[in-house]
Amino acid sequence: MNIEFLNQIPLFQPLNSEELQEILSISKIKNYHAQEIIFRQGEIGNSLMIVQSGTIEIFYYDGQQSHVITRFEKGDFFGELALIDHLQRSANARALTDVEVLVLDRESFDLLRKQKKSSAYQLLKMIAFELCLRIRESNEQVEDLLKGETQKFMPIITDARVVQTETSMFSKLFSFFK
């Protein structure tokens, strides 16, 4: 994984070369085989993952059947809430093909944050922006469902439990810099 690859991902675009190098220095590459479970619903989240190659499926199991939420491919990221909260995963992740991901774990990220590194601040800012986009998109989808416009419904792409409020999420974000 190199800086040029990270620069292509919107989450990392505001970071300069030095900040990207800080992120790369604390990240690890992990490989999964096709059909391998990456994490399970109910596990405590502990890392953000960026897909370097392959396809990952996020799905929810309701006790009777699986429901596909979304798929992630090269350049996509998921699990970003694990850097902020210490809650259970709300869905499962499975490699559909052989995949390679860059893993940024919470413990390493917390070290950057505690050192008041600008890379941590910039990444948290972009995560907050992404969460706002996903919440707005989810709100629009819920509104369409309530209006009976189910043909517009697309899977809600989120790694968060919708019951969490925007206020509590922002409180957690801002508490990192106190």
**Consecutive 10-residue runs of the chain (178 residues): their mean pLDDT?**
81 85 90 96 90 94 86 90 81 95 88 76 78 80 73 47 41 48
Beta bridge pairs of residue 88:
44
Phi, psi of 83 (to 5 degrees): -80, -15
Please report the pLDDT score of residue 174 as a whole number: 47
Q: Are 69 and 91 in contact (CB under 8 A)?
A: yes
Please give the Cα distance from 82 to 67 (Å, whole number): 22
The whole-number pLDDT of residue 73 equals: 94
What pLDDT sits at residue 164? 37
The reported pTM is 0.73
Residue type, 104: L
| 173 residue type, one letter | L
Residues 123, 127, 129, 133: what is their CA dihedral angle, to the nearest 10 degrees?
150
Amino acid 178: pLDDT: 47
- Nearest by Cα to 15 from 62, 25, 79: 25
Q: Which domains does the chain have, with CATH numbers?
A: 3-175 (2.60.120.10)
Helix, strand, coil abundance in the chain, percent, nearest 5: 40, 25, 35
